[in-house]
Amino acid sequence: MQRDFNTFTQTGQLDTLQHRVLRNTYWLLGLSLIPTAVGALVGINMSFGFMAASPMLSSLLFLGMIYGLFYAIESNKYSTTGVYLLLLLTFILGVMLGPLLQFTLAFRNGAQLISLATGGTAVVFFSLAGIASNTKRDFSGMANFLMVGSIVLMVAVIAQIFLQLPLFQLVLCAGFMLFSSLMILFNVSQIVHGGETNYITATLSLYMNIYNIFISLLQLLGAFGGDRR
């Protein structure tokens, strides 16, 4: 009897923790979109001539800065410093949307493409997050598959920095959309089933998945549906 009571108590505490982590993750995720939007507005009005002059070096420096912030956020994930660093990262990533948004807005239907990409990203996220939250299935079994997928995509990204092949870029976008969608299932499932107990880490992962889906979808829409002036 006492053992059953202890098990019930532990289960209740775990459910409460999972609910709190999921709630804080969604709250911080929503908050992180504000500096992203501000950064995007800044990026639209910036000149990125330095990137056009040396795209390879710029890409490598950008990746180094982003991964440096990833490390700093993970190192401070148990303090408010981690939240501030995460918001800084989302602002920088918003600014770095500038070249893609400028390119898209050069189309006659550029504003519609951005709206469509935003709406499509929201539909993908809420659909997959809803599935992971409400199903009893645990998607943590995808961990090894996703690890291999992340390595393959990283190698492909580095290769594209040197190759700069337009068709390969579209294939890469499709790959990122699929990978990021599966990652949303995995990340939310981890929170729901107690595999992830830190909301800053959870938010960082979900944010990057949403970000990758948005930029990949926007590039695909621009390539196949952009109406040049």
Q: Which residue has the tokens 């998945």?
A: 209
| Nearest residue to 193 via CA among 205, 203, 185, 181 | 185
Q: 52 falls in which pLDDT band (50, 70, 90)?
A: low
**Higher confidence at residue 77 or residue 137?**
77
What's the CA gap between 100 and 193, in Å, rounded? 37
Q: What angle do CA 147, 177, 93 make, to 5 degrees?
A: 90
Q: Give CA–CA dist 214/219, Å, rounded.
A: 9
User: At 15, is the pLDDT very low, low, confident or very high (cuts 50, 70, 90)?
Assistant: low
Give tens-digit pLDDT for 80-107: 999 999 999 999 999 999 999 999 999 9
Cβ atoms of 69 and 92 within 8 Å: the answer is yes
The token pair that represents 214 in the structure block: 């948005």
Mean per-residue pLDDT over the chain, rounded: 88
CA pair distance 167, 126, nearest whole angstrom:
30
For residue range 112-129, what is the model confidence (pLDDT) as tens digits? 999 999 999 999 999 999
68-72, 74-78, 154-158, 186-190: segment of lowest average pLDDT: 154-158
Is residue 182 very low, low, confident or very high in pLDDT (cuts 50, 70, 90)? very high
Neighbouring CB atoms inside 10 A of 68's CB total: 11
Q: Is the pLDDT of residue 170 over 50?
A: yes
**pLDDT of 152 over the 60 cut:** yes
Over residues 166-191, mean pLDDT: 93
First-to-last alpha carbon distance for the chain, in angstroms, is 75
CA–CA separation, 179 and 5 (whole Å): 42
The pLDDT value recorded for residue 120 is: 96
Q: What is the dihedral of CA 27, 39, 221, 55, to 10 degrees?
A: -130
Quick one: pLDDT at residue 2? 44
